[in-house]
Chains A and B, each alone.
Chain A
Amino acid sequence: ELRSELCPRQFPARRAAAVAVALLRYRRGGPARALRLRELRRARTEDIKDVGHKYYLELELEDVLDKDSTVNCTAEVLYHLGNQNIAPDVQFTLEGELKSTEEADHVFYTRIRSLEKELVAENIPDSHGHVPPELEPIHLLAWVASGYLVWQNSTENTEFQLAQVKHVKQVRRRDKYLQFDFVVLLHEMVSQ
């Protein structure tokens, strides 16, 4: 097992960490929870013959809405050789429990359900970086969803971030689910 230590400051490790956090955000995020990378503590890489490059990461994450709340996480990111159209494999394990957002989620759910007209908004944040407080959960949802897009489209040579939510439209449903259609702008750091 030949794993070489990577400098966490340098970009190969950072890009892998960004992908892991993107998937994590998608899987665990919600209108009241958005997790972000606070620190990449350790990174190692392994070259798996005929398969690809695997990164072993130790991450410290923070909750955007509660910066004092941090959680440790280990993750493995495998970039497949050759075909750039396959999303990297990502596994992660969180140490400990995340704070429950049941109450805030419920408040959001009831608020949207009680709207008379379907929610529509654009340019979140606006040009001056401002997000109206009532749209903050929508902003977080878009960020969560963008985690999926980032994960699906990442390679070792990319680093995506959500730049702006261009447009959001609520889609009325007969059942109990809430549905939103988003148009998001992703910023690719490396080719920026």
Chain B
Amino acid sequence: DQVLHIVPETFQQVQHLQLLHSTLLLDLWKPLMPEDIMAGEDLHIRVPAPLVQEVKDILDQHMISYRVLIPDVQELVDQSMPRERSSHKQVLEDYVYTQYHPMEEIYQWMTQIQNNYSELVTQHFLGTTFENRPMYYLQISKPSNKLKKIIWMDCGIHAREWISPAFCQWFVKEILQNYKSDPKIRRFLQNLDLYVLPVLNVDGYIYSWETDRLWRKNRSPYENGTCYGTDLNRNFNSSWGSVGVSFNCSSNVFCGSAPESEPETRAVAQFIRRKKSDIACFLTIHSYGQLILSPYGSTTKPPSNNEELIQVGNKAAAALTGKYGTSYKVGPPSLILYNNSGSSRDWAHMIGIPLSYTFELRDNGTYGFLLPANQIQPTCEETM
């Protein structure tokens, strides 16, 4: 539903609007009574969603100008409702994928996903964070005799990039809800297994909900507890510590005390190393920037399969743009973003995984890390 703001200019326009109100039974917010609609005075009127286009067409026909005051009434209603998060029992059918969820709810969601789709999904323990929280990934796998290649996707390595875990949850939902009806997805799962880690940096994510929305790193202490956090995407063993990092804990790109010094990094690295010969594609999801980044960040020297990497990347970007026109750029960060070392994407490629990408989702800086929840749906739809 939308609320439109109109200032009628003539008495004739007033009459048109009164007629519109009575025939379509629209909801007048201001003034309260249709008789009080006057030329030169503000009119606020709520239009139910199915009638929005029709009403706008009629207004255009009569050359009555309007402005959308509230583009989505339901959203405002949801936001203003007091939500008892802790006592409220979560039900999977009611899970709102177009809102950001705190870690507690994401943990619950994973359990529920496994329960509801047990023929396809198993939840696995990957490791523990510094603050002793479990890291879980979901394995989406159609049981079969043949050994299948793996696609790995992790989200939320940087705490403040909330759109990233939102995307992982959306992705899982899309695959599972449409598995039965979509032949493309069925064929996909016939040949590939999906491993999805919805939140890699659990401690950081919780910290960004409870204390500092713009926190990036994990929460391990350094310098006798006077300084916190390693940038997990500088902590992998790929030209570690060489460029685009800081050795000072207070920096947002502190690379840790050594490659894989952080428990979160180790948990991922140990797992990927074990499975590397079966992993066809490694994806790590970030924001913002609207970029599809291929290796490497530490050097402009192209990787051995650069042509293939760029070609696949370009196809992905084209498909993405095709949905809502959002433009994404493709290339290595050393050319199109900034130099950095120790990233998970570079490391995955260096240990032999052929296709390795970092996705930087919406937007381009207008909201940056604070992407409004109403962009979750279009961002996720185009990225699918």
Chain A positions within 8 Å of B, measured between CB atoms, are 7, 9-11, 14, 36-37, 64, 123, 125-131, 133, 159, 161-164, 185, 187, 189-192
Contacts and interface: CB of A to CB of B under 8 A. Distances in A.
A130 B368 contact: no
Given A9-B335, A129-B372, 7 more contacts: A7-B335, A36-B366, A125-B370, A125-B372, A129-B375, A161-B365, A162-B368
Interface residues of B, number: 32
Contacts of A10: 331, 335-336
Chain A interface mostly: loop
Contacts of A123: 213
Chain B interface mostly: loop
Contacts, number: 73
B216 A185 contact: no
Give the most central of A10, A129, A163: most B CB within 10 Å. Answer: A129
B373 A129 contact: yes
A189 B246 CA distance: 14
A190 B335 contact: no
Contact of B216 (A7, A9, A162, A192): A192
B338 A163 contact: no
A106 to B, nearest CB: 14
A64 B365 CA distance: 11
A11 B372 contact: no
Contacts of B13: none
A123 B212 CA distance: 11
A154 to B, nearest CB: 14
Given A64-B366, A163-B369, A128 B100 contact: yes
A127 B214 CA distance: 9
Interface in B250-305: 251-253, 289
A130 B72 CA distance: 13
A129 B331 CA distance: 28
